[in-house]
Amino acid sequence: MLILRELTLSDENAFMSAVRAWPEHELDWISFDWRPGVNFSDHLAKLKRDSLGIGLAEGRVPHTMLYGFVDNAIVGRVSVRHQLNDHLSQRGGHVGYAVNPDQRRKGYASEMFKQALQFLHHKGLDKVLVTTSETNLASWKIIEKHGGLMENKIWDSTEKTFVRRYWVDTKN
């Protein structure tokens, strides 16, 4: 059973194990903020401020980082944006997820996505935007499995790929 929730102070060991599952140049997939040397409690305080929308950097919206726990170990994470800005409306959307490389193809991303939709529903959002690269088959399978309806595909000139933009009903 997977539990999706915010980190607490007692999760430091689980968090550090999850960090070690990722190559250093891909740390964004497990945390946007934590980097070697950052104190864990300072990191938690930053996550809390981001979630409450306090002291956000220019162009950032309130967002909550939720971690997927299975048997007390972190298998992945979901970044949940509470609202969109111009950039997220095109690329990024409300929800971004990642599963540790050694934990893939066990249905964890799908389950985290389902629980993230419930989280956003409780925040008052009935429909959310989710975007994914045309080449990321696993990602768009997850979105379509949860009722995602594609609005369009747009060209991402930085990544040189089409991006699929979907709307998902959070009650699905």
Ligand X SMILES: CC(C)(COP(=O)(O)OP(=O)(O)OC[C@H]1O[C@@H](n2cnc3c(N)ncnc32)[C@H](O)[C@@H]1OP(=O)(O)O)[C@@H](O)C(=O)NCCC(=O)NCCS
Of 49 and 106, nearer to ligand X (C-beta) is: 106
Closest distance between ligand X and the C-beta of residue 136, in Å? Answer: 5
CB of 29 to ligand X, least distance (A): 6
Helix (H) or strand (E) holding 112: helix 108-122
Token code pair at residue 51 = 């979630």
CB-CB contact of 132 with 163 (8 Å): yes
Q: Give the E-state strand segments of 21-160 in sequence order.
A: 63-70, 73-81, 95-99, 127-133, 149-156
* Cross-strand bridge partners of residue 79: 65, 96
CB of 52 to ligand X, least distance (A): 25
In the complex, what is the shortest distance from the CB of residue 42 to ligand X, in angstroms, rounded to a whole number?
Answer: 26
Measured from the CB atom, is 14 or 70 closer to ligand X?
Answer: 70
The site for ligand X (CB under 6 A) is made up of 29, 96-99, 104-110, 132, 136-139, 141-142, 145
- Residue whose CB is less far from ligand X, 51 or 103: 103
Cβ proximity to ligand X: between 69 and 97 the closer is 97
Quote the CA–CA distance of 56 and 60 in Å, as a whole number.
6
